[in-house]
Amino acid sequence: MNKIDPAFSDRPRRKRTDEIVDAIKRMIVEHGLAPGDRLPQERELISQFAASKGTVREALKALEVQGLVSVRTGPGGGAFIERMSEGRAMSLLSNFLFAKNLSIANIYEMRKALEPQLAASAAAHIDEAGLTRLEHIITIYDHEPADAAERWNQRMAELDFHGVVAEYSDNPILAFTCRFLQRLLKDLTIAQDIYLQPEPVSRASGIGHQRDLIAAMRRRDPAAAAAILAEHMTEAENHMLSLQAQLQDKFLEEIHPSRTVRRRSS
Amino acid sequence: MNKIDPAFSDRPRRKRTDEIVDAIKRMIVEHGLAPGDRLPQERELISQFAASKGTVREALKALEVQGLVSVRTGPGGGAFIERMSEGRAMSLLSNFLFAKNLSIANIYEMRKALEPQLAASAAAHIDEAGLTRLEHIITIYDHEPADAAERWNQRMAELDFHGVVAEYSDNPILAFTCRFLQRLLKDLTIAQDIYLQPEPVSRASGIGHQRDLIAAMRRRDPAAAAAILAEHMTEAENHMLSLQAQLQDKFLEEIHPSRTVRRRSS
DNA sequence: AGATATTTGTTCGTATGTATT
DNA sequence: TAATACATACGAACAAATATC
């Protein structure tokens, strides 16, 4: 057995758990294990690494959090190779950006640059089924909302519209990034406050753009699709920023209450 | 981003470890714990959650992998709140994109859209010290490389140049994304093969653009900075793609060896 | 520098939960 | 239903790391 062990003993003394994590990772790449394949069972790993149950379990937990394996109980159970889901990737990335205090402007600076590319890419690959899906989503917000709950759902559906477009891009990292930005907008508390405002995004204009986009995609016109998205993003950003400014004015009024009525629910 | 994970009990029976992970996460946000603050010690967590040592340790391991805490031994030791490092965030994201088979074109499609924005953003904030750093990096590749090793270092330095520019952007997510794309180029094996080619990127043109960029930044001209980067990215992409095509031709020759000499080292 | 106290890291034995047959 | 094969969880003891005196 030839062991490739880059873990020398001069460093702060690596922990047994981390050694096992790396060893299993090497095992995965060396054996070319694919999603669905099973790792050796807990017991075998224990004897193979001469480690205790607890240590091996900690290593498997680390791999599980990284989205590399999932563990099942019962006969035939064990640790199976997984593909990390998009959702988990986004959650992990959110943990990183959590402390960074992103602003609406930060996010839209990226969306303005990327969504047009995404639309162009999708225009080249989307099929009639996809176009139908998009048309159906539009029907969710093609009318005035009856109450706050419907208004909220309409805002989410608008973001989902762009998420569906992303599905038809052939650029995985572009699609992921755009969808992640959409999710950030859903999660940002400041954005959520904005969405509760009477008219978060000029609906008529937004729907117009999205209908134009569908038409451009249907006639396979990537350049037009990109141009439409560029204009839509700029308008959406301006709308969001002006509403954000209005919210801040309201906030200042609350700080210096003249005869203001408090109205803000969590 | 205050997310309270709805932990229902009708689902497949949540594992004790995951319950503790979520409980600790809630503990962190409720107590407003900041990086450097310490969690209760292992012993206290064990009694607080009425769980065993192994279970609590698995939970802490999960939090550690997510970059939320780091654990230290010794007196006064324990689990301390951490900020996830950029490097860890990139590694986790790489795990997700690993299976996606990204191409050079995929990556440059994003770089073309984002690096100009980044340059414009940095132009507004960079200081003389940063400009000096950039000028120093250029000296690493302002001359013909003597051997393959130096050629490699020059290619890495060229990417680092853009990484330093990113440091001076005030848009955290834009900076992160650009630096991540740079790292992907360093890691992609196909890109690495390209970098070993005699002239991976037209050096003269690249350096010209980068000197122009420094000048534009020094006179605080974001629009010019963006324009320069747009041109630079387009040229770099064309160069990479043509070299990639050449490599593929070589590869095909090896598959159908006429009188080809094998020449490829790991 | 060395001894010591404190806290995590690892091991072992055992018992319980869960999915398959 | 019962038997089986696996992960999951518990508890006690011991080892290793590290701050403090």
Domain residue limits, chain B: 6-81, 87-265
The rounded distance, in Å, linking the Cα atoms of A12 and A4 is 20
Q: Count of CB atoms within 10 A of residue B66's CB?
A: 20
- Among A179-193, B139-153, B198-212, B239-253, where is mean pLDDT lowest? B239-253
- Protein-covered nucleotides on strand D (Cβ within 7 A): 4-13, 16-20
User: Which of B1, B91, B103, B183 has the highest number of chain A CBs within 10 A, making it the mutation to test binding with A?
Assistant: B1
pLDDT > 70: percent of chain B: 86
Q: Mean pLDDT over residues A193-218, rounded?
A: 83
Closest nt to A53 (CA→C1')? C11
Nearest residue of B to residue A176, measured between CA atoms: B97
Angle between helices A203-218 and A148-167 (to 10 degrees): 20
B65 touches chain A (CB under 8 A): yes
More confident residue, B156 or B200: B156
Q: What is the pLDDT, as a whole number, of residue A3? A: 31
A92 touches chain B (CB under 8 A): yes
For residue A29, which of A58, A55, A54, A63 has the smallest C-alpha distance? A63
Chain A residues in contact with B237 (beta carbon < 8 A): none
Q: What is the pLDDT, as a whole number, of residue B261? A: 39
Judging by beta carbons within 10 Å of its beta carbon (0-12, 13-18, 19+), is residue A253 exposed, middle or buried?
A: middle
Is CATH 1.10.10.10 the classification given to domain B6-81? Answer: yes
The model carries a pTM of: 0.87
A89 touches chain B (CB under 8 A): yes
The listed CATH number (1.20.120.530, 3.40.50.1000, 3.30.499.10, 3.40.630.10) that belongs to domain B87-265? 1.20.120.530
From chain A residues 137-196, the ones with a CB under 8 A of any chain B CB are 171-174, 176-177, 181, 184, 187-189
For residue A166, which of A151, A182, A150, A154 has the smallest C-alpha distance? A182
Show contacts of B51-54: CB within 8 Å, 24+ apart: B51/B16, B51/B20, B54/A54, B54/A57
The residue type found at B23 is: A
Q: Mean pLDDT over residues B97-111, rounded?
A: 93
Inter-chain CB pairs, A–B, below 8 Å: 123
Q: What is the pLDDT, as a whole number, of residue A59? A: 97
Q: What is the pLDDT, as a whole number, of residue B240? A: 86
Closest residue to B173, CB basis, from A86, A97, A172: A97
Looking only at the bridges linking them, the beta strands covering B69-72 and B78-81 are antiparallel
The owner of tokens 């508390």 is A189
- Among A64-78, A174-188, B87-101, B181-195, where is mean pLDDT lowest? B181-195
Q: What is the pLDDT, as a whole number, of residue A160? A: 96
A33 touches chain B (CB under 8 A): no
Q: Nucleotide C9: nearest residue by CA–C1'?
A: A15
Nearest chain B CA: its distance from A106 CA (Å) = 5
A253 pLDDT band, cuts 50/70/90, is: low
Q: B229 CA to C4 C1', in Å?
A: 62
Q: A88 CA to D17 C1', in Å?
A: 34
Closest nt to B14 (CA→C1')? D8
pLDDT > 90: percent of chain B: 70
Nearest chain B CA: its distance from A138 CA (Å) = 27
Highest mean pLDDT among A32-46, A184-198, B2-16: A32-46
Average pLDDT taken over every residue of chain A:
87
Average pLDDT taken over every residue of chain B:
87
B9 pLDDT band, cuts 50/70/90, is: very low
B107 touches chain A (CB under 8 A): yes
Query: pLDDT, tens digit, for every residue of B204-228?
Result: 788 999 999 999 999 999 999 999 9
Residue A136 predicted with pLDDT over 70 = yes
